[in-house]
Amino acid sequence: MIRNTSSTWGSLARWFHWFLGAAIISMIAFGWWMNHIPARPDRFVTRAPWPVDWIDPAPAIARRVADLLGPPGEASDEAGARMIFTSDRPHTLSQALMPFFGGRVPA
């Protein structure tokens, strides 16, 4: 049966479910594999069909993050963060998390 009923899922919904599950698992595996490939710019330079220079973006990203955060010791360091719970009840881990949120738990 292709269509869903009130008591069971249809074959199309089941196929879609398993297809997406397999796609997600394969993306996780592929991401893990790609994350463990060492960055070897020397290999890229030697195998390029024309002369290229490898540009490492990490220093530029670090400078931009430091620019956005500002120098240490400014007022933004004392701003802290707040834990807000939608249930208006404190979580059981509130005491353990308080040092990371400046000791403020409004709920």
- Tell me what pLDDT residue 28 has: 94
pTM of the model: 0.37
Q: How confident is the model over 24-72, as pLDDT tens digits?
A: 999 999 988 887 776 777 777 888 888 888 777 888 888 888 888 777 6
pLDDT at residue 103 tops 80: no
Q: Where are the domains of the chain?
A: 59-107
DSSP the chain: --S--SSS--HHHHHHHHHHHHHHHHHHHHHHHHHTS---HHHHHHH-SS-------HHHHHHHHHHHH-STTSGGGGS------TTSS--TTHHHHGGGGTT----
